[in-house]
Amino acid sequence: MKNSGLYSFGDDGGLWTLINGCYRRPSTVGEREGYCLERLKPAERPVYTPPASVEEAPLPAVV
């Protein structure tokens, strides 16, 4: 079973819901909608900041 927290997929590809510590197939539309809403929520990804280019970096001063 592929586990993704509250929802998992069985070996046959069926959707299973974790309720009270036991997995069972979703029997209500609300449980299926909960899975869809969880999958569609925006993913939190770190913001990429490109490294400063070499041309813009200050050169060390020669004394």
Condensed to tens digits (0 to 9), the pLDDT of residues 12-50 reads: 777 777 776 776 666 566 666 666 666 666 656 667 776
> Pairing state of beta strands 22-24 and 7-9?
unpaired
Q: What is the pLDDT of residues 47-62, one digit of tens each?
A: 777 676 666 667 777 7
Looking from the CA of 53 toward its CB, the CA atoms found within 13 Å total 2
Looking at residue 14, its pLDDT comes to 74
Instruction: Identify the pLDDT of residue 41.
Output: 67
- Taking the CA atoms of 27, 30, 33 and 34 in sequence, report the sign of the dihedral they define: negative
Residues 6+ apart with CB under 8 A from 31: 17
Q: List the chain domain ranges.
A: 2-40
Whether the full predicted model's pTM is greater than 0.75, yes or no, is no
Structure confidence at residue 11 as a pLDDT band (50, 70, 90): confident
